[in-house]
Amino acid sequence: IHFFLLAAMHQWKSFRHGADVGPLYGLPRFHYSTVSKKAKDVPYDIMKRLLALIISKCNRQTRRSLRFPKPLRVVDSTTVTVGKNRLPWAPYHGERAGVKLHVAYSPESSLPADVVETIGLRHDGPVGEQLTNAQQVLVEDRAYFKIERLDRFVEQHQLFVIRMKDNIELHQKKSLKRLSSTSSSVQADFTCQLGTKQCRSTKRHRVVIFRDANGRDIRVVTNLFHASAETIADMYQQRWTVEVFFRWVKQYLNVPTLFGTTENAVY
């Protein structure tokens, strides 16, 4: 475990490289094949738990104050692909193989709060169920939108701000009172039931429509009724923070240069 931590911190290129420079970092001298053979017996979940421990000990003073009713929990996923022969256990599309990282991200701390790893073909929705947290506000894109799920969140007191799919029907709209402002990006704020007669929400949900920086109208649904429509819009737009994190991951995560290509090695 000490070897892998040092390898990650100092970006060692291989087991052989680690064996050469390891003694400079306090490791005893060893043959690279010794660690290579042992690596397959070290569950990746150990490293995952170590990461969670390190994150939990990050100084709370580094957290940004976003002035929202509760901390945000931005949930999204990203897929890393390679040639299909490199990861035969993770087929993706065509000649590609891929692994997917499903992440719950904290904009306040700029750190991932939770990660679930799957093959690239795994759908986002079911995995997203593992990333909920009733102490935080879920912020999610359309891939996680499901009418039954929203009704269940209301019953479970799980706060959320989720983008709606474009074809969702809005039933019995009732506008909410709000102060008008020429500088606001909010176009509408109302409650309604969602869906068609055959598949309609049992609860009335709040819908906020706002215009983004590119002039597109974004429809989000929420069960936050004591926050302004502008605050709801600001919450959803915090999704960009996880996109920045994903770009950072893909910049530094180079699958062809990992120490192995098995499921345990990659994850």
Output the domain CATH number for residue 85: 3.90.350.10
Q: 4 falls in which pLDDT band (50, 70, 90)?
A: confident
For residue 175, the enclosing domain spans: 61-245
User: What is the model's pLDDT at position 64?
Assistant: 60
20 and 67 together in one domain: no
65 and 31 together in one domain: no
- Find the mean pLDDT for residues 116-126: 93
The answer to whether residue 53 sits within a structural domain is no
Q: 33 falls in which pLDDT band (50, 70, 90)?
A: confident
140 and 223 together in one domain: yes
Q: What is the mean pLDDT of the chain?
A: 88
Q: 46 falls in which pLDDT band (50, 70, 90)?
A: confident
8 and 88 together in one domain: no
pLDDT (tens digit per residue) in 142-158 = 999 999 999 999 999 99
90 and 125 together in one domain: yes
Contact 205, 146 (CB under 8 A): no
Q: 63 falls in which pLDDT band (50, 70, 90)?
A: low
The answer to whether residue 227 sits within a structural domain is yes
pLDDT at 257 over 90: no
Q: Kindly report which listed range (4-13, 96-105, 150-159, 252-261) carries the lowest average pLDDT score.
A: 252-261
The answer to whether residue 261 sits within a structural domain is no
127 and 180 together in one domain: yes
User: What is the model's pLDDT at position 256?
Assistant: 59
**Three-state SS letters, the chain:** CHHHHHHHHHCCCCHHHHHHHHHHHCCCCCCHHHHHHHHCCCCHHHHHHHHHHHHHCCCHHHCCCCCCCCCEEEEEEEEEEEECCCCCCCECCCCEEEEEEEEEEECCCCEEEEEEEEECCCCHHHHHHHHCCCCCEEEECHHHCCHHHHHHHHHHCCCEEEECCCCCCEEEEEECCCCCCCCCCEEEEEEEEEEECCEECCCCEEEEEEECCCCCEEEEEECCCCCCHHHHHHHHHHHHHHHHHHHHHHHHCCHHHCCCCCHHHHC
User: What is the model's pLDDT at position 11?
Assistant: 80
User: What is the model's pLDDT at position 65?
Assistant: 60
23 and 131 together in one domain: no
pLDDT at 113 over 60: yes
User: What is the model's pLDDT at position 263?
Assistant: 85
223 and 165 together in one domain: yes
Q: Kindly report which listed range (146-160, 185-199, 251-265) carries the lowest average pLDDT score.
A: 251-265
- Residues 262 and 99: their CA atoms lie apart, in Å, by 12
